[in-house]
Amino acid sequence: MKPENKPLYAAVHAAEFPAQTLQRLRPELQPDAIAVLDGRAPVETICSLNRRARQKGAALGMTRLEAESIPGLRLFPRSAENEDAARMALLECAAHFSPRLEDKSQGTACVCMLDITGTERLFGPPETLAERLRAALVAAGFRTSVAVSSNFHAARLKAAATRGITVIPANQEADALAKLPVELLGLAPEQTEIFVMWGVLTLGELAALPQVELVTRLGAQAAELRELARGALPHTFQPIEREFTLKEVCEFETPVDQSDSLLFVGARMIDCLVARAGARALSLASLQVQMKLEGEHAYRRVIRPAIPTTDRKFLLKLLQLEIAAHPPQAAVLSLTLSAEAGQSIKVQLGLFAPQTPDPSRLDITIARLKAIAGEDRVGSPVLEDTHRPGSFRMEHFSVANMQSSAAESNAPAQTRMALRRLRPPVPVRVELRDGKPVVFRDNERRFKVDAAYGPWKSSGCWWCDDGWNTEEWDVLAETSDGSSVACVLVRNVDVQSAATTPAYEHSIWQLEAFYD
């Protein structure tokens, strides 16, 4: 009978997570001393800060007034939305090494526990897995410490107290935790006071106390604290069910009114979205842009490439063209990029098939044409489900629409008469006899009607402003030079009913099309 693997856990501890969240999407803040303020004005206090801020004299709990007196210290408000998006990115990165995760975040630290039991065949020994895990988190923009142990709580406490990578050998948890301070246990104030009076300052000193006397003086909870200090407290792993969402959020400390600044941050956000999607062998099918503007205004745009892509430069160019065509109407307070994941389209070309153009060039060209001609003038024309003559709408161009149109064009051809419509229709003057057209003229020629069939009446949308009420005539006519034409004349009945009916009617007749 094959023996079961001994449980093994890896703890990932990201300290000062609010400050890390800011620096992750804004690399220009890396060399600065930054502090994050929490609470309501004017009693805001520092809840998180980086190493450079500590070197300048900043400390946790310092008020805004005290922090503003430190030269060179940059202050930022805390953003729960920013931290939630960053925490989701960290969990996704950790999930590449184990699908069983438990979130044990507390305060301003983001803590993720991984059940790595039986992963040696995939990632090698625990030391190798820890190194690869930490390197992946650094690439994702997080500074973390990683600890590996067969005890859940021993790994969590060790990662919180040390930097870098620590692997605790089996049955040596008590020795590994002996020098750590008792404050790591999250003691109540009265418990901390008692341990200070007893001179118990480290976990090793707490573990050395006799259990019976400890429980007698502090109650049953003291036994659990002692087991924690010894690295022997059992734990029932509670894996979380992660929802895969591609979202990055960045809030600005001051309103941004220049597109270059937005694109600088947007480039980093696109890099993160592409990396997260690429880790799952996915591409970005769409990109939703949301901005919170001054004056409680909102800005929303959707960018949909013709095919899903992971090309960072291409997506950034589309974002640039979209913002240039539809600039925000006020200064930007926050920027949010959300993406919809999709599968990349791969086409196997023949050996002698010509090379096709890059799809990204087509998307950029379409975006530039929309900026010049307008959103409703570029795309794929689609006939509307109506009896209105020549009614169509423009839809966003996509490969799916192109493929469906190609399939329709490959259908067996049938011999039929072609109708060549005039865009726009040509106004004509029509002479009537017994209610039928007998002669009509445009600006250049005169047409004598040999036969007229109709009228074919069509009307609709009478309940809105763009309704129509027309009559169509199919006409065989002869020009002054003797050539024959077959065409379509259209009369607007509403205009005609509101006017008199002279021999020649102006503006209500139009030459709509020719039969070829």
Please report whether residue 406 resides in a domain.
no
Please report whether residue 409 resides in a domain.
no
For residues 206 and 281, membership in a common domain is answered with no
Confidence (pLDDT) at 504:
46
What's 225's domain CATH number?
1.10.150.20
For residues 383 and 371, membership in a common domain is answered with yes
Q: What is the residue-wise DSSP string for 157-182?
A: HHHHH--SEEEPPTT-HHHHHTTSBG
**17-25 vs 259-278: helix axis angle to the nearest 10?**
110
For residues 324 and 177, membership in a common domain is answered with no
Region 397-406: mean pLDDT is 56
For residues 139 and 254, membership in a common domain is answered with no
Please report whether residue 351 resides in a domain.
no
For residues 386 and 425, membership in a common domain is answered with no
Confidence (pLDDT) at 2:
46
Interval 369-398: pLDDT, tens? 887 887 778 888 888 888 777 788 888 776
3-state helix, strand, coil in the chain (%, to 5): 35, 30, 35
Please report whether residue 53 resides in a domain.
yes
Q: What is the mean pLDDT of the chain?
A: 86
**Among the listed residues 107, 93, 101, 124, the one whose alpha carbon sits nearest the alpha carbon of residue 9:** 101
For residues 26 and 154, membership in a common domain is answered with yes
For residues 159 and 184, membership in a common domain is answered with no
Is the per-residue pLDDT at 502 higher than 50?
Answer: no
For residues 315 and 431, membership in a common domain is answered with no
Is the per-residue pLDDT at 3 higher than 70?
Answer: no
Domain span holding position 152: 9-170
Q: Which of 118, 137, 170 is the last residue of a domain?
A: 170
What's 369's domain CATH number?
3.30.1490.100
Please report whether residue 424 resides in a domain.
yes
Confidence (pLDDT) at 497:
45
Quick one: how far is CA 69 from the chain centroid? 39
Q: What percent of the chain has pLDDT over 70?
A: 90
Confidence (pLDDT) at 104:
92
- 8 Å CB contact between 311 and 345: no
For residues 382 and 480, membership in a common domain is answered with no
Q: Which of 243, 263, 297 is the last residue of a domain?
A: 243
Q: Which of 225, 243, 261 is the last residue of a domain?
A: 243
For residues 249 and 387, membership in a common domain is answered with yes
Q: Count of domains in the chain? A: 4
Looking from the CA of 353 toward its CB, the CA atoms found within 13 Å total 8
For residues 30 and 160, membership in a common domain is answered with yes
107: left (phi over 0), alpha (psi -120 to 50) or beta: left
Interval 55-68: pLDDT, tens? 999 999 999 999 99
What's 62's domain CATH number?
3.40.1170.60
For residues 141 and 193, membership in a common domain is answered with no
Region 181-185: mean pLDDT is 92
Tokens 């190194």: give the residue: 131
